[in-house]
Amino acid sequence: MAIDKVILITGGSRGIGAATALLAGRSGYRVCVNYHRDQAAAEQVVTAIRDAGGSAVAVRADISSENDVLRLFEAVDKEFGALCALVNNAGILEKQSRLSDMSAARLQRVFATNVAGSFLCAREAVRRMSTRNGGAGGAIVNVSSGASKHGAPNEYIDYAASKGAIDTMTLGLAKEVAAEGIRVNAVRPGLIYTDIHASGGEPGRVDRLSAMVPMQRGGRPEEVARTILWLLSDEASYVTGALVDVTGGR
């Protein structure tokens, strides 16, 4: 297998990001596994990719910090060279709550990571990939959420709204850079078995709600990862500005 493409996956240490990193490693990408706090988890993903014959490195960076994002992309440039794929995956949610109980500090945290962080990473990727700047083109996949359609009442309207912003960014940026060799798409996962539900205070949330899913089950991170890798690949060469639901029909 020729390993000649470079991919950055934000939040690649756990959950959907880790599954995407592992699959990318098996699909011929050199993988930059970004993480925020859990270095051991990130190193595990890197080791698994290398053990399978791939190439990977872990880089700590808080994507809500512009300085960290600049350092992250410089690390990719230095370690691997020309970036051709970005997965804007890192995202957070906070304890389930009604909007009337949400503090300004919480809103700032959620929007700084989910919205500003994704914008900053997209900015750095476009600066490198755009043929307008002498780049070779590339592809971006934003990880939105089915919550952008449902609104997540009584749980996290802030999170759902941050993903609505990601949907809109995907539509606008796809058109902005379509003639510059860059495709921009989003996946909107539904209920996927990862740790994120514990951050919301309900680790068993997927099982509680899975009866509402037409397919009657939660999804696995690997099922989202396969869709992301397809969107990044040449198989999706005429797909841009698409919001692809990976929700079991919900």
Chain residues in the site for ligand NAP (CB under 6 A): 10-11, 13-17, 34-38, 41, 62-64, 89-92, 113, 117, 143, 145, 189, 191-192, 194-196, 199
Q: Are 38 and 68 in contact (CB under 8 A)?
A: no
Closest approach of Cβ 45 to ligand NAP, in Å? 9
Residue with the shortest CB distance to ligand NAP: 15
Q: Catalytic pick from 29, 156, 159, 193? A: 159
Vertex 184: Cα angle to 180 and 187 (nearest 5): 170
Tell me which amino acid residue 188 is. R
The Cα–Cα gap between 218 and 149 comes to 18
Nearest to 83 by CA among 92, 74, 93, 91: 74
Q: Closest CB to ligand NAP among 86 and 130? A: 86
Nearest to 115 by CA among 98, 137, 96, 92: 92
Q: Closest CB to ligand NAP among 38 and 180? A: 38
The Cα–Cα gap between 22 and 250 comes to 27
**What Å distances lie between residue 39 and 15, 34, 241, 245, CA to CA?**
14, 9, 33, 30
29 is catalytic: no
Q: Closest CB to ligand NAP among 145 and 240? A: 145
Q: Closest CB to ligand NAP among 180 and 245? A: 245
Closest approach of Cβ 234 to ligand NAP, in Å? 24
Nearest to 169 by CA among 228, 109, 128, 116: 116
Closest approach of Cβ 233 to ligand NAP, in Å? 20
Closest approach of Cβ 106 to ligand NAP, in Å? 14
Enumerate the active-site residues. 159
